[in-house]
Amino acid sequence: MKKRVRMMGVAKPGSILIELLAVMAMMCPAMLVAQDKAPTADGGLKSVYGKRFAIGAAIPGADLKNEEIALLSKHFSTVTPENCMKPEPIHPEEGRYDFTGGDALVKMAQSKGLTVNGHTLVWHYQCPDWFFVDNGKPAGRELVLKRMREHIAAVAGHYSGKVASWDVVNEAIDDGKGYLRNTKWTQCIGDDFIAEAFIAARKADPKADLYYNDYSIEGGGKREKTLRLIRELKQRNVPINGVGIQGHWQVGRVPLKDIEAAIVAFHAEGMKVAITELDIDVVSRSASGANVNAREKGADDPFVDGLTPEMQKKLADDYTRLFELFLKHRDKISRVTFWGLHDGRSWLNSWPRKRTNHALLFDRSLQPKPAAESVLELGRKQ
C-alpha cells in the first residue's frame, strides 16, 4: 500500500498508464518485491561481484565462530563443503551414510541465504577402500559400477533441491602423458566411469548444474585432455553443464594467459566455467598442481610472523590481475570460490607440508588484506 501511495504520488493526475500500473501492483505483490530489491551497498565482495558471478568460500562445516559467520555472510553468496560431502566422511561403509556434517552445513547456509555447491561425488582420494573390494579381492566392474551409482543416487538424491551444483567427478585427468589418471575407478570400471557418474548424478538431481572439476586444466596437456573429455561426453549426450578450474596457484606465477584461453575454450564447448578452489600460495612449493598426495619435506616457514609489505603487494597484484580477467569474461564465468574463508582456515597451512600460509583475501584476524581492498576497488570501478 505504501508503494502504491508513492506511485500515485508521482503520477500526474489522470495518467491512465500510472493508475493501471498501480492497480496491477496491488494485484501482483511480486512487482512490489522486485521494486524493493535495491542493491545493498554494504561493501562486501558479493555486493560488488555478485551480479557478475557467484562468489564463494569453502568451509569445513556449520560449526564456525560468530565472527566467521559474519565474514561469510558479508562477502560471499555461496559455499562449498571442504570435506564433509566427500565419499569418505559421507559413506564410510557400504550402505551406511553419515549426512550430519553436510546437513548442518546446508541448514546454516540456507539460514544465511547462501547457496551450496556439492563437492564431490567421485574422486580417487578421500574415498574409502570398500568401494573396490569384493570379499578381500579386487571387485569387478559391475559391482563397483553398482556401488558408484548407489552412492551417487543416495548422496545427490539426499541433497537434491538443496545444492546449486555438484562437482560430479574430481581430478580424473592424468598429470602426465596419459589421458585419464590411473585410479581404482579406471581400473575397476574403465574410462566410462566418468560418463556413468554424470548420468547417475542427473538421475538423482534433475536440476543441479553438473561439473567436471580439476587442477592445472587451464594449461598445457591437461587443457587439451579436458576439451577431449567434454567433447566425448557431449557426443554421448552425457549431461554435463560445466567445468571447474580449481585454481590453486602460486604468487608471481599465476598463468593468466592459460587461464584466459581455458575459460574461452571451455565456454566455446558450451560449458559454464567456474573457478572452484581459488588460492594463491605465498610460500614456494615444488608441486605445481594440487595433487593432495604430493608431500614435501622442509621446515622453512618464511612468513610465520606475517606477510612482508612487498609480498602483500605481490599477492594483491596477482589477485587483481585475476579478477580483471574474471570480469572481462563475466559472461562465461558462473562462480569464483576461494578454498577457505580466511588464511587461518587455508589447507595450504598443511599441504604439501606444514607452514604458515597467507593465500586468501582475509587474514587470520579476519581482516581484509591489501589484496581484498584491491579486488574490491577493482569491482567497484567496473
Q: Does 165 bind ligand XIL (CB under 6 A)?
A: no
CA distances from 257 to 239, 253, 264 (A): 29, 11, 11
Residue closest to ligand XIL (Cβ): 347
Exactly one of 246, 334, 337, 374 binds ligand XIL (CB under 6 A); that residue is 246
**Separation CA 71–CA 76 (nearest Å):** 8
What distance in Å separates the CA atoms of residue 319 and residue 80, rounded to the nearest whole number?
20
241 binds ligand XIL (CB under 6 A): no
Per-residue binder mask for ligand XIL (CB under 6 A), 258-277, x = binder: -------------------x
**Are the C-beta atoms of residues 102 and 85 closer than 8 Å to each other?**
yes
Give the β-pairing of 209-214 and 248-250.
unpaired
DSSP secondary structure code for residue 368 in this structure: B
**How far is Cα 291 from Cα 174, in angstroms, rounded to an integer?**
11
User: Minimum distance from CB of 83 to ligand XIL (Å)?
Assistant: 5
Q: Which of 230, 290, 336, 361 binds ligand XIL (CB under 6 A)?
A: 290
Which residues 69-98 are close enough to bind ligand XIL by CB under 6 A?
A: 82-83
Q: Which residues are catalytic?
A: 171, 277
- Residues 222, 228, 230: CA angle, nearest 5 degrees: 105
Helix axes of 220-235 and 256-268: crossing angle, nearest 10 degrees = 10
**Judged by CB, which is closer to ligand XIL: 82, or 343?**
82
The residue among 82 and 196 lying less far from ligand XIL, judged by its C-beta, is 82
**Binding of ligand XIL at residue 170 (CB under 6 A)?**
yes
Contact 337, 80 (CB under 8 A): yes
| Residue 349 binding ligand XIL, by CB under 6 A | no
Select 83 or 320, whichever has its Cβ closest to ligand XIL: 83
Least separation in angstroms between CB 303 and ligand XIL: 20
Residue 173 contacts residue 226 (beta carbons within 8 Å): yes
Minimum Å distance from CB 90 to ligand XIL? 13
Query: Which residues from 113-152 bind ligand XIL, rule CB under 6 A?
Result: none
| Distance in angstroms (rounded) separating the CA atoms of residues 114 and 91 | 25
Q: Is 347 in the site for ligand XIL (CB under 6 A)?
A: yes
CB 27 to ligand XIL: min, Å: 49
Give which of 319, 314, 309 is closest to 378, Cα–Cα: 319
Question: What residue ranges bind ligand XIL (CB under 6 A)?
Answer: 82-83, 170, 246, 277, 290, 292, 347
